[in-house]
Amino acid sequence: MQLPVRLLQVAFGGSQASDRQMEYSQKFADVNYVGDGQTYHTLDIYLPKEKKDVYPVVIHIYGSAWFNNNGKGAADLNTICAALLDAGYAVVTPNHRASTDALYPAQIHDIKAVIRFVRGEAEKYHFDTSFIATSCFSSGGHLASLAAVTTGLKTYTLGDDVIDLEGSLGAYTSESSLVNAACDWSGPVDLQNMDCGEAMKMPKSPEEVMIGVPMQGNENKYALLSPITFVNAKNPPIHIFHGTKDNVVPVCQGERFYEALKGAGAQCECLIVPEGGHGFNMYSRENLQRMIDFFAKADYQENSQIDKLMKNMLIEISIKSKLNILLSLK
C-alpha cells in the first residue's frame, strides 16, 4: 500500500515549521549515488555559505515509516539541515528505496552506498572524509542509527538468519561505510517492542511491510532490523533526541536505546524533550545547538585520535631509524 506523500510527511515525517531558512553556497541536486538512473537512488548535496576547501559531512535521512522513496526534498531542511549548514557542515540528503520497492535490508544497503559515495566523490564535492556523521528523523533515525551501530559489520548471524548489512551498490564498493557519529531524532530502534508505549496503530505495521512477514515466528528477522541488536562498546558516539509526547514512535524507544548503549560502554548522550511530539516541539534552537555541539565534540575526538595515531607512528619510525643507525655503526 502506497500512502499519500503528504500524509507520510505529516504523520511520520514530523513538523517542518521553523523560524530559519536553509542558506548554502552551492547545491548539487539529484545526484545518482548508484548509477542506475533510479530516483530512489538520488541525493542532494548542500555546501555551507562560508566557502572552505573541504567540509565535514552529515548525511541526513528523512522520515516516512520507510514508505517514501523520494523524500529528500522535505528532509527537515529548514530545521536540522539549516542548523548543520550554519555550523559549517556539508549536508547530504539521500533518497532510499521504500519498503514497497524492496524488502529490508535494501534500505540500509542504500545508506551504506551513500556513505561510500561520499568517500569516493570527496574531491569533487569538497568533502572532508575524516568526519562523516548520520542524522535523521523517525524511520530515517532507524537507518542513521543502524548505519552507526553496524559500522565495520559486513554480515550478522542470529539463529538461522543471516543478514548482509553492506550490500554492493554503486561504484565505490572498496570504500568504507564507517560513520564517526550519529544523531537519532525520534527513531524506532527496537522493532520487536514497538508496543513499549502508546503509539499510532495501523492494520499492518510499517516494520511488517518492510520485513514482509509478521513478527510471530520471525522474531530473529525483526531483531536483525533493530539497531539495538548491534549495540556494542565500539559503536561511534550517538546522541538520542526523543519527545515525551511522541505518539508515533514512543519515547521508550529512545530510552531503551540509550540504556543499551550506556550499558555496553558506548559513548552516548540522550535528551528526552518534555512535551516533544513526533517532530513537534523538538527543533528548538537549544536542541539544534546541542546537536551541533555533540558533532563538534565527536569530530574533535576523532581527529585527536588520528593525531595520536600519527604521533605514535612517527615515534615508532624514529625509534626504528635510530636503532638502524646504531646497528650500522657496529
Chain centroid, CA 203 distance in Å:
28
* Cα 241–chain centre separation: 13
Task: Look at residue 6 and tell me whether its pLDDT is greater than 50.
Answer: no
Helix (H, G, I), strand (E, B), or coil: what is residue 183? Answer: strand
Residues 36-56 have a mean pLDDT of 97
The answer to whether residue 311 scores a pLDDT higher than 60 is no
Q: What is the pLDDT of residue 20?
A: 79
Close Cβ partners of 84 (under 8 Å, ≥ 6 residues apart): 58, 60, 91, 135, 291, 292, 295
CA distance 126 to 317: 32
Instruction: Residue 148: name the closest of 111, 95, 96 by CA.
Output: 111
Q: Give the whole-angstrom CA distance, residue 225 versus residue 222.
A: 5
Strands (E), the chain: 26-32, 42-47, 55-61, 90-94, 127-136, 155-158, 161-164, 181-185, 238-243, 268-273
pLDDT computed for residue 1 by the predictor: 35
Q: Is the dihedral of CA 57, 106, 13, 139 positive or negative?
A: negative
Q: Is the pLDDT of residue 322 over 60?
A: no
* pLDDT (tens digit per residue) in 102-116: 999 999 999 999 999
Kindly list the strands in the beta sheet with 268-273, ordered across the sheet, starting from the edge strand earlier in the chain: 26-32, 42-47, 90-94, 55-61, 127-136, 181-185, 238-243, 268-273
Query: What was the pLDDT predicted at 2?
Result: 41
**pLDDT greater at residue 5 or residue 167:** 167
User: Which of 11-15, 77-81, 171-175, 260-264 shows the lowest mean pLDDT across its residues?
Assistant: 11-15
pLDDT on residue 198? 73
Mean pLDDT of 51-76: 96
Which letter does DSSP use for residue 245 in this model? T
CA–CA gap between residue 267 and residue 234 (Å, rounded): 9
What is the pLDDT at residue 301?
A: 86
Q: Does domain 5-329 have CATH number 3.40.50.1820?
A: yes
Q: For residue 196, what pLDDT is reported?
A: 86
Pairing of strands 268-273, 238-243: parallel
Query: Considering only CA atoms, which of 168, 176, 27 is closest in space to residue 90?
Result: 27
In terms of Cα–Cα distance, which of 195, 189, 80 is closest to 141? 189
Tell me the average pLDDT across 175-196: 96
Cross-strand partners of 241: 185, 271
Mean pLDDT across the stretch 37-54? Answer: 97
What is the residue type of 264? A
Q: How confident is the model at residue 3 (pLDDT cuts 50, 70, 90)?
A: very low
Using pLDDT thresholds of 50, 70 and 90, give the confidence band for residue 266: very high
Per-residue model confidence (pLDDT) at position 202? 74
pTM of the model: 0.89
> Percent of the chain having pLDDT more than 70?
85
- Half-sphere exposure (Cβ direction) of 219: Cα atoms closer than 13 Å: 4
| Residue 17 confidence (pLDDT) | 57
Residue-wise pLDDT for 274-291, tens only, equals 999 999 999 999 999 999
Q: At what angle do helices 139-149 and 106-120 cross, to 10 degrees?
A: 60
Task: State the cell numbers at 294.
Answer: 555533540
DSSP state of 278: S
CA-nearest of 257, 231, 55 to 141 is 257
> What pLDDT, in 10s, does the model give residues 219-248?
999 999 999 999 999 999 999 999 999 999
Given a cut of 60, whether residue 12 has pLDDT beyond it is no
Percent of the chain with pLDDT over 90: 81
More confident residue, 204 or 8: 204
Cell numbers found for residue 289:
545547538
CA-to-CA distance for 110 and 112, rounded, in angstroms?
5
Q: Chain-wide mean pLDDT for the chain?
A: 90
